[in-house]
A and B are shown apart, each in its own frame.
Chain A
């Protein structure tokens, strides 16, 4: 394209501008602006305000394929100017009309923020900012591939480090003591100098890596080092594996109590996600009442081991004795749910399981079962597990329990996926009738999926109960099922690494950003929509789903011609 595509540039710019406007008007920009990222001039509010604008600049330049740098730059500049319009209109309007009675968040603080505290003369500044940022995006897109990848990557890493500076603080405090933190951080924000140093170092590393990769590719292309590189990649894998293992083992000591608790939460949802992954991902049975089995696990553990008012057996069971019973009970209820829904498919199954989940919660809340399950009071005083004399009563120690559980469940999941049963699930998911005609016993296959999924979830519930010490019916609401389902979809249906990534993204990150709790569901929704539009197969999809959604590239390597 030789000339500038005005329509695309202006449309992209306006979209970027409307995103900024939207985040401003719902109060997010203001809420997030309190959190500095780098020095005191770049905060999380800016990220929201200008992220869309930057993307508009990049996308506009990208839309002008094979155009000169000048055209790229000019088109993104146009997009940047367009991006300034919606917010400027808001500022003008808010200065003349009382908007706050309708839009609560359009207040003086926000206006001061948007005009850089310069009143009406700040309007031009806002335009300047959007233009420059979009222009930067356009120029960035015109960079040669290597620099584009490395600069973009290291810039993102710097921002991510700044956003999660509390992790950095924690790690540095443990490793080098508290004073070291002040060297690079200023409160929660990175010092400008340390941000710059980090950026340069990262860019250097990434460029080196890129060069090594290019060299390695040349070697492979020449065919000389095929065997050598295979061994090297195996070696790398082993190193990676051991490295991750060590990191997982020492994590709680380095990360401290709060972050261990976050890890525990992630682990709990990994357990849930892996179980649900068997039901939904492998067997294709959409289960919206999955929290029920989590509740069975937690309540069974609670009732068997409590030393509180519901104690009946005189503390007969400890955690370890109760654990197998918990899993068996969950499996049993998994089968009990399975029977009535055997003949249901798709939407109907989803609705029935949804109802099932709610029934269990309401039963736990009911007066009828109060003598056993404690009603609204819940089950209190559930003792912490004791492991060879060590009482697992802190998040750091419970972390190991949930880690062990997650590893076990992940291992079982992998083995199941590659087993005959895994194939049965897969065939059933694709076409029940044909699977039956091939000789697959649908009743048995479905019940096994429900039973195993329920067992995993029950295990998660048991650990959850033992960690919290008290459980209440409201801990088992629909949102848990939705969370678990969202995380396996975002991570990649049917994929075990996907479940882990999904749990980190949907459970871990919100825990870390607790200060912005009220926007959690909004971000959740945005993430899900963006994922479904751009990457419906999830972050780390299982091979089979990738195949389906990218059918045109589906020819597998090594196909015999």
Chain B
């Protein structure tokens, strides 16, 4: 049984039918990427999984448990954490306070502190700037912080929305290396990306989303070689 099972979800913004029956599966220990053009519904899919949007139809389950009955703020207790599009750091809080917010639902102080050390090991830049206000961090540092903050909740499933957005290529590589490292330590990752090449290079499997519908799925290597994907998303003629 897959860890995350999304079955035929339909999500609307008012009258706009944004997701027209999206299904996907993520297995324990995988990195799965969701690629697609602007407006294909990638972020909507992620926001629906994280409970910020409610699907009108379809089901989402985690380890066989239906997530439909939980409000968004309880999903973190189920082991889902999100790194939102555009980072979404609490810009007036310091780096450390942001990380503490990530562990908001936890009460085990000692473990929180050791997790913070782990995050600082992962992103030494953040340790240097732990008392700095996060709104003054660079884009790359903010992405590290958002990722670190999500990890502070000890997620089993990490949802990442466009981690490469607005970052210099060298920083993007760093972020993707980190995602791989996090995954090797046991966190399952569902990654939404426009930078399809990068995403497919670290992912195990991928889904291609087009105007609210899933059009293609395969393992990452095969997707990279797929003619349609190459044309549309990898810029290869």
Contact = CB atoms under 8 A, between A and B. Distances in A.
Interface of A: 423-424, 426-427, 430-431, 433-442, 544-545, 547-548, 551-552, 554-556, 558-561
B187 to A, nearest CB: 16
A445 to B, nearest CB: 9
Given A439-B105, A544-B92, A558 B128 contact: no
A433 B73 contact: no
A441 B133 CA distance: 25
Interface centre among B75, B76, B104, B129 (most CB of A within 10 A): B104
Contacts of B133: 547-548, 551, 554, 556
B73 A548 contact: no
Interface stretch (B4-12, B83-91, B223-231): B83-91
Nearest to A428: B90
A430 B76 contact: no
Contacts of B20: none
Given A433-B52, A556-B131, A551 B73 contact: no
A379 B51 CA distance: 49
A7 B76 CA distance: 61
Interface string B14-50: 0000000000000000000000000000000000001
Interface of B: 50-52, 71-77, 81-82, 84, 88, 90-94, 97, 100-102, 104-105, 127-133, 135-136, 149, 153
Interface centre among B84, B90, B100 (most CB of A within 10 A): B90
A548 B101 contact: no
Interface centre among A554, A556, A561 (most CB of B within 10 A): A554
Given A439-B105, A551-B133, A560-B131, 8 more contacts: A431-B88, A431-B90, A437-B75, A437-B76, A437-B81, A439-B74, A551-B135, A556-B94
25 contacts: A423-B100, A423-B104, A426-B93, A431-B84, A431-B88, A436-B51, A436-B52, A436-B73, A437-B52, A437-B76, A437-B82, A438-B76, A438-B102, A439-B77, A440-B73, A544-B92, A548-B91, A548-B135, A551-B133, A551-B136, A552-B136, A554-B135, A554-B136, A556-B94, A560-B130
A426 B90 contact: yes
B72 to A, nearest CB: 5
A430 B93 contact: yes
A533 to B, nearest CB: 22
A428 to B, nearest CB: 10
B105 A438 contact: yes
A436 B76 CA distance: 9
Contacts, number: 95
A439 B73 contact: yes
A426 B92 contact: yes
A361 B129 CA distance: 51
Contact of B131 (A423, A435, A544, A559): A559
A560 B94 CA distance: 13
Contact of B132 (A427, A441, A556): A556
B149 to A, nearest CB: 8
B128 A561 contact: yes
Given A442-B73, A544-B92, A427 B84 contact: no
B88 A434 contact: yes
B104 A440 contact: yes
A445 B198 CA distance: 39
Given A442-B73, A547-B133, A554-B132, A437 B50 contact: yes
Interface centre among B73, B102, B130 (most CB of A within 10 A): B73
B84 A437 contact: yes
Contacts of A552: 136
A169 B104 CA distance: 56
A559 B132 contact: yes
Contact of A547 (B82, B105, B135, B149): B135
* Nearest 3 A/B pairs, CB to CB: A439-B105, A439-B76, A434-B88
A392 to B, nearest CB: 42
Contacts of B51: 436
A439 B84 CA distance: 14
Contact of A555 (B92, B101, B127, B132): B132
A544 B98 CA distance: 13
A438 B92 contact: no
A441 B104 CA distance: 11
A440 B77 CA distance: 11
Nearest to A434: B88
Given A423-B101, A554-B136, A556-B131, A438 B153 contact: yes
A558 B50 CA distance: 38
A487 to B, nearest CB: 22
A430 B104 contact: no
